[in-house]
Structure 1
Amino acid sequence: MRAVQMTAPHTLELVDTPVPEVGPRDVLLAVSAVGACHSDLHLLEAPAGAFPTPMTLGHEVSGRVAEVGADVTGWSAGEPAAVYGIIGCGQCRACLRGLENQCRVTPVGGIGLSRDGGLAEYVVVPASRLLKVGDLDLTQAAPLTDAGLTPYHAIELARRNLRPGGYCVVIGVGGLGHMAIQILVATTAVSIIAVDTSDEALGLATRLGAHHVVKAGPDAADEVRTIVGPAPDGADAVLDCVGVQPTVDTARSVVATGGSLMLVGLGGGTLSVQPSAGQLPVPMEVDIRMPFWGTRAELQEVLALGERGLLQADVTRFKLEEAPEAYEKLRNGEIHGRAVITP
């Protein structure tokens, strides 16, 4: 079968590789769609030895069951499914509570992260990682497994502050941010402020239900402040879906006392949390979190939103052999919404 593999740091290649064998508790999935995520770029740019090579990338996966292992029940050939990509240890206290995204043994283990992923014609996954998708289009189901799940989890963590009449700022209307806006529209009654460098992205934010849009830049925090009011008031929640230094600075500058600050993006920005007598890095009582993916239960809820038409990825499609091009466009900021590869 064909697969797109990271064969060395900074190297992505289309290769021929055997169809993987199915273990007794596994399912062989004929891959329908795979979302291209910035996290894949982090894997590619990591130093040698940080991740196994060669490895098939792709952790946002949907497809149809091709074969089931001898001990698998509840699935049959031809059924559509979405993949929950995290594989925790299953034994630590976090995993036992269903919080595999907080696994204390293998914190970044999973499909396309520590074992072969979905950028191939077939992928083997443990049957426990599959979720039903009903009539949901599989091209939509794939990005919901991360680009939908991650902001959903962040919003759940900030839920106590997302009260009717409040404000939520979403910084970055890309793969994660455009999903976050839809989730907020579907599950809250807050006023949504979208921030981005791109006029096209801000137009998408407006179409998806954002109440205000602000162009990112040196004056972005001041413009947000004209909407949410002066400190110590401000945005009840801020979702930074980018994470570079300017967006982190904007986020901390506009969050209200007692608000929630969710550092969702992994852009390398720094937020100091060391207080001093003369200056506080963030207002008092602010809850700062670094959300990671989400739980299987949350993914089931995200898929339900998708099935009901309340959450839809803005998709740009690529063929399997075009995957390197998709990642290059993603690296250059040329993808609005989500790039989806369809083997």
Structure 2
Amino acid sequence: MRALQLVGRRRPPELREVPVPEPGPGQVLVKVARAGACHSDQHIHIMAAPGPPPGLATEPPFTLGHENAGWVERLGPGVTGFTPGEPAIVYGCWGCGVCPDCRQGRENYRRTLGGQGPGLGGGHDGGMAEYLLVPGSRYVIPLGTLDPRQAAPLSDAGLTSCHAVKRSLHLLGPGSAAVVSGAGGLGQMTIQILRALTTATTVVAVDTDAGRLETARHMGADEALPSGDDAIACIKDLTGQQGAELVLDMVGIDPTLRMAAQVASVLGHLTIVGLGGGALPVDFTSPPHECSVASPYWATLPELMEVITLARQQKIGMPVEHFPLDHAREAYQLLHDGKIHGRAVITPPRMSTDVNATRTHRRPVG
């Protein structure tokens, strides 16, 4: 089968011929419907410094793609509870299973090397190929009525957003405000999660792109503001000069982090999700007193089940742009240039009849 593989740090990925994997005991082979192209692929691998990033143990080559959905193809010995052809999504945090966090279900924070999930360099090939070998059946979650050709972004964009919001829900009561800095694919999902999980908070989107701001309004943002000093002043006015209880920076570059420190409230949460490589300015008064700063990573497996439920209830959805595997490198370039509407997903060769052009818009999941 053909696979999009990272062959070296700071080198473009390449299409290569690789064997179709055979599921062993406890494993599941998934026929890939779509695999998401994510900014983290670029930040961690394609644009990264030579050598494996901290916490990632594997050197190239390996197949990219950590946002995956498809159909159960074959079951390894000992696996029960699935039917071949059943639509499923793959939880991407493949833990070690033995550290304290894994034993408590927090496999996204496993303490040992080698537990990283598919396509992120922990010893496992990802889903930008025709088939994906999943090492444990517990990581394969049935989709029910959801179409796997649309659902792949739920496993990262939806899941990461859900986890980032849930840790701060206790702050989002009547009169509160939540600021989402960056209204791209991840920010759009975050806005929907906020709307689905809260009823009283004012959701403010901030971005440099007018089209993304319009999309943010459509997805539930109460305010959509162009980035800059005027946005900071407007957020201050909206919050009675107190700042927002929750600021979610989905970009993570110096200007957005400076803004986040200025608009967060005392005792609020400033959550850094974006991997832009910026630095948060910190001194005695910035961020505000007792403002908690966190950089959450992905989410737990039970939270993926919650995200799937929200999508089934049509409370969240994501516009996706489909690219054949042959055009995956183009998708990454467009992603880097900020020209993707929603999320980019890669289509394996045998599914190419689903894609009539290089860039094809489809309805949101849910």
1:298 maps to which residue? 303
1:269 maps to which residue? 278
> Distance between the aligned counterparts of 2:334 and 2:17, measured in 1?
24
2:6 maps to which residue? 6
Q: Secondary structure at the match of 2:7?
A: strand
> Distance between the aligned counterparts of 2:329 and 2:61, measured in 1?
15
Q: Report the Cα offset of residue 162 of structure 1.
A: 1.3
Q: Does 1:314 align with 2:315?
A: no
> Distance between the aligned counterparts of 1:139 and 1:218, measured in 2?
41
Using structure 2 for the length normalisation, give the TM-score: 0.89
Q: Secondary structure at the match of 1:304?
A: helix
1:142 maps to which residue? 152
* Contact 1:24–1:72 (Cα < 8 Å) also in 2: yes
Q: Does 1:112 align with 2:116?
A: no
Identify if the C-alpha distance between structure 1 residues 274 and 102 changes in structure 2 by more than 3 Å, giving closer, same or farther. Answer: farther
Q: Does 1:26 align with 2:27?
A: yes
2:288 maps to which residue? 283
1:155 maps to which residue? 165
* Contact 2:318–2:342 (Cα < 8 Å) also in 1: yes
Identify if the C-alpha distance between structure 1 residues 88 and 181 changes in structure 2 by more than 3 Å, giving closer, same or farther. Answer: same
- Matched positions, count: 337
1:132 maps to which residue? 142
Q: Report the Cα offset of residue 274 of structure 1.
A: 4.5
The amino acid of 2:40's aligned partner reads S
1:209 maps to which residue? 220
* Contact 2:257–2:281 (Cα < 8 Å) also in 1: no
Q: Secondary structure at the match of 2:185?
A: coil
Q: Report the Cα offset of residue 52 of structure 1.
A: 2.0
The amino acid of 2:277's aligned partner reads G
Q: Does 1:99 align with 2:110?
A: no
1:332 maps to which residue? 337
2:238 maps to which residue? 227
Q: Secondary structure at the match of 1:11?
A: coil
Q: Report the Cα offset of residue 188 of structure 1.
A: 0.2
> Distance between the aligned counterparts of 2:317 and 2:217, measured in 1?
15
The amino acid of 1:103's aligned partner reads R
Over the aligned positions, Cα root-mean-square deviation in angstroms equals: 1.3
Aligned pairs (5 A) from 1:172-251: 172-189=182-199, 190-230=201-241, 233-251=242-260
Question: Of 45, 48, 72, which aligns to 1:46?
Answer: 48
Question: Of 244, 268, 281, which aligns to 1:259?
Answer: 268
> Distance between the aligned counterparts of 2:280 and 2:114, measured in 1?
22
* Contact 1:88–1:106 (Cα < 8 Å) also in 2: no
The amino acid of 2:231's aligned partner reads A
Q: Deviations over 1:175-195 (max 9, x none)?
A: 210000111111102110000
Q: Report the Cα offset of residue 224 of structure 1.
A: 1.8
Structure 1 range deviating more: 46-55 or 236-245: 46-55
Using structure 1 for the length normalisation, give the TM-score: 0.95
Runs (5+) with no aligned partner, structure 2: 53-57, 349-366
> Distance between the aligned counterparts of 1:335 and 1:6, measured in 2?
21
Structure 1 range deviating more: 3-12 or 166-175: 3-12
Runs (5+) with no aligned partner, structure 1: none
Q: Secondary structure at the match of 1:294?
A: coil
* Contact 2:258–2:281 (Cα < 8 Å) also in 1: no
Q: Report the Cα offset of residue 106 of structure 1.
A: 3.1
* Contact 1:214–1:224 (Cα < 8 Å) also in 2: no
The amino acid of 2:3's aligned partner reads A
1:122 maps to which residue? 131
> Distance between the aligned counterparts of 1:218 and 1:116, measured in 2?
44
Q: Quick one: percent identity of the two aligned structures? A: 46
> Distance between the aligned counterparts of 2:161 and 2:282, measured in 1?
23
